[in-house]
A = this chain, B = another copy of it.
Amino acid sequence: MIAPSPFQSVPLSQAYRLLNHGPTVLVSSAHGDRRNVMAAAWNMPLDFDPPKVAVVIDKATLTRELIEASGQFVLAIPGRDLAERTLAAGSCSGREGDKFEALGLDVLPASQVQVPLPAGCIGWLECRVIDEPHIQRTYDLFLGEVVAAWADSDMYSAGRWHFPEQGRSSIHYVSGGQFFATGEAFEVDRKA
């Protein structure tokens, strides 16, 4: 079990910054007494204010069923210490049993949606589905409005990710069990 870290509210106008650098996320969902968590490398910010996100959710998944039933989801950003569980979350189905329990992921309550926040992550975006049935059906593409955003104060402060602990930096999935860690931060001079 991973103890929850102290976390801070992220202003909605800066919520895009949690996803801007392209991390792989966990998608958390719930409806009635059912809940699930899956992994999604195919996600991106879609707008600044009000903040929106886009994420691909395959038709075959329990997550898809729960999101369509509830109209809500959470994108949670796992650190490298959760890479094995992120891969596992993307490799089995919640139809075989509660994946939070199977993965040993504790949960925290969300503030604006009835969806659990996977504990031990470094950031969370609470989202309400923007109903676009055609692109949901045709491309498995879900758009969401971000209604609350949170980040681990150790890893995100002053409006930026910092990753002082490399073992908890965000991760980027490629394929076949291979990830890249988010690497060195660098600044580019706008006047250059």
> Which residues of A come within 8 Å of B, CB atoms?
17, 20-24, 41-47, 52, 54, 56, 80, 83-84, 86-88, 91, 132, 134-135, 139-141, 143, 159-161, 169, 172-175, 177-190, 192
Contact = CB atoms under 8 A, between A and B. Distances in A.
A83 B186 CA distance: 10
A174 B161 contact: yes
20 contacts: A20-B41, A20-B172, A20-B173, A20-B174, A21-B172, A21-B174, A22-B23, A22-B41, A22-B44, A44-B44, A47-B139, A83-B186, A83-B188, A84-B189, A88-B192, A161-B174, A178-B185, A179-B186, A179-B187, A180-B182
B183 A182 contact: yes
Contact of A22 (B139, B169, B172, B178): B172
A175 B45 contact: no
A81 to B, nearest CB: 11
Contacts of A45: 41-42, 56
Contacts of A134: 134
**In the complex this chain forms, how many copies of it are found?**
2
Contacts of A177: 187-190
Nearest to A41: B20
A20 B99 CA distance: 24
Contact of A192 (B20, B84, B174, B185): B84
A169 B84 CA distance: 24
A132 to B, nearest CB: 7
Contacts of A180: 21, 161, 182-186
Contacts of A179: 21, 185-188
Nearest to A22: B22
Given A177-B189, A181-B183, A182-B182, 9 more contacts: A17-B175, A21-B41, A22-B24, A44-B56, A83-B186, A139-B143, A172-B172, A178-B188, A180-B184
